[in-house]
Amino acid sequence: MRKEVVLITGANGEIGHGLITHLGQQGNVNIVALDVSPLDESLKPYCNRFILGDILDTMLLGRLVVEFEIHTIYHLASLLSTKAEYNPETAHRVNVEGTLNLLRLAVEQSQWQGRSVKFLYPSSIAAYGLPNLEVKERVGKVKENEWCNPNTMYGCNKLYVEQLGRYYAAHYRQLAADHDKNTIDFRALRFPGLISAVTIPTGGTSDYAPEMLHAAAENVPYACFVRPDTRLPFMVMPDAIKALLDLEEVPRERLTQYVYNVTSFSLTALEIYDIVKAAFPRSTITFSPHQSRQNIVDSWPADVDDTSARQDWNWSPEYDQQHAFADYLIPAIRKRY
Ligand code: AKB
C-alpha cells in the first residue's frame, strides 16, 4: 500500500517553513517535502520524507507517484519577482513549466485514487499591474478580476498558472471520451507582501518590509529600496498559513471562484519605518529607492478587496496591524537576534 501524504514543494521557502512547522506540530498528516536545497534542520522532525530535487525533473516526480498516495499538494516552489527579472526565461521554466509538472502529477494521482486531489497554490498581488501612481491611488482596493496586466515575469507566471489551474480543474482533456470532471481541486490565494518573524525572504520586491524589520533588530544599517510613500498590502506569516489551511478545508461547493484575494493591513514604507524605529530606536534606516524595483512596487495595488474570501469561506486574518507588530513580529524578532 502506498502511504497517504501531503506534498509540499518549496519546503525551505518562507511559506514552506511556516506551513511545515504548523502542520508538523499538529501532527495529523504525513508530510513529503521537496526542495532544490537541503532541508532546514528545524523542519526535519516534521517531515516523513524529504526529497532533494527539482520540480523540473519529471523522472523524480514520476517516482513520487509510485511511492505515495498524495491527497493534497501545496505547490509553494517559485522564483520571486526580483529574482525572476534577472533571468525571465528561467523563471518561466520554474514558475510555469514546474507547475505544469505538478498539475500533471496531481491528475495522475487523482486517476489512481478515483477522487480529486487538492492543489493549493500561492498566487500574489504581482498578478496585478496598475499603469501609474495616479491610478494606483485612485483605485485603492482591487478585486480579483480587475487590473490583471502584470509588468513582471513573476506576475505573468502567477496569472497564467491561475488560469492553468482553472483549466485543469474544469476542462482538462475536455474532448476525451473518458473525460473526467473531478481531476484537480485547484484553489489559489493572491497573497499580499508577507512578513515572517522566523525567515527572511530572498528575491522578492515586497521584501523591504521584512528586511527593514530584521535589519533593525540585528542593528545592521538598512537602505530601503523604495520611496517612503510607497504603499502595499501586507500580512504576517501565521495569517498566510491560516489562509492556506482555511481554504484547504472548505467544501468545494462553497467556493464560487478558483482564486481569492486575502489581506490584512496596508502600510506605506514610512509607516513601517515609524513602527520599526519606535521598537528599535538605535536602528539606522535610510531610503535609497532603486528605480526599477520601485516601478514594480508602484504597479502593485495599494490594497486588495478580499470580500469574496470573507463571504465564501469566512476568511478573516487573526493579526491586524497593531497585533501583528506588537504581539507577533517585534517580540519574536527581538528574541531571535
Ligand atoms: C515578491 O515580492 O515577489 C513576493 C510577492 C509579492 O509575491 N513577495
The reported pLDDT for the residue numbered 65 is 87
How far is Cα 109 from Cα 7, in angstroms, rounded to an integer? 12
Please identify, by atom number, the ligand 1 atom nearest to the C-alpha of residue 194.
8
Atom 7 of ligand 1, nearest CA residue: 124
**Residue 210 in contact with ligand 1 by CB distance below 6 A:** no
| pLDDT, tens digit, 9 for 90 and up, residues 9-66 | 999 999 999 999 999 999 999 999 999 999 999 999 999 999 999 999 999 999 998 8
**Residue 150 in contact with ligand 1 by CB distance below 6 A:** no
Please identify, by atom number, the ligand 1 atom nearest to the C-alpha of residue 152.
3
- Which region, left, alpha or beta, applies to residue 117 given φ > 0 means left and ψ of -120 to 50 means alpha? beta
**Residue 154 in contact with ligand 1 by CB distance below 6 A:** yes
**Residue 80 in contact with ligand 1 by CB distance below 6 A:** yes
**Residue 126 in contact with ligand 1 by CB distance below 6 A:** yes
| pLDDT, tens digit, 9 for 90 and up, residues 187-236 | 999 999 999 999 998 999 999 999 999 999 999 999 999 999 999 999 99
Please identify, by atom number, the ligand 1 atom nearest to the C-alpha of residue 82.
3
| pLDDT, tens digit, 9 for 90 and up, residues 105-164 | 999 999 989 999 999 999 999 999 999 999 999 999 999 999 999 999 999 999 999 999
Gap from CA of 72 to ligand 1 centroid (Å) = 24
Please state the rounded mean pLDDT for residues 174-198. Answer: 91
Gap from CA of 124 to ligand 1 centroid (Å) = 7
Gap from CA of 328 to ligand 1 centroid (Å) = 21
Of 164, 166, 172, 191, nearest to 97 by C-alpha is 164
The reported pLDDT for the residue numbered 183 is 86
Please identify, by atom number, the ligand 1 atom nearest to the C-alpha of residue 122.
7
| pLDDT, tens digit, 9 for 90 and up, residues 265-324 | 999 999 999 999 999 999 999 999 999 999 999 999 999 999 999 999 999 999 999 999
Class of 78-336 per CATH?
alpha beta
Gap from CA of 293 to ligand 1 centroid (Å) = 12
**Residue 79 in contact with ligand 1 by CB distance below 6 A:** no
Pocket test of ligand 1: the residue of 79, 81, 234, 266 to mutate, having most ligand atoms within 8 Å of its CB, is 81
| pLDDT, tens digit, 9 for 90 and up, residues 323-332 | 999 999 999 9
**Residue 225 in contact with ligand 1 by CB distance below 6 A:** no
Joined together, the cell numbers standing for residue 287 give 531610503
| pLDDT, tens digit, 9 for 90 and up, residues 229-261 | 999 999 999 999 999 999 999 999 999 999 999
pTM of the shown model: 0.97
pLDDT higher than threshold 90 for residue 182? no
**Residue 95 in contact with ligand 1 by CB distance below 6 A:** no
**For the chain, which residues make up each domain, given as ranges?**
78-336
Please identify, by atom number, the ligand 1 atom nearest to the C-alpha of residue 201.
8
**Residue 124 in contact with ligand 1 by CB distance below 6 A:** yes
**Residue 78 in contact with ligand 1 by CB distance below 6 A:** no
Pocket test of ligand 1: the residue of 205, 208, 226, 237 to mutate, having most ligand atoms within 8 Å of its CB, is 205
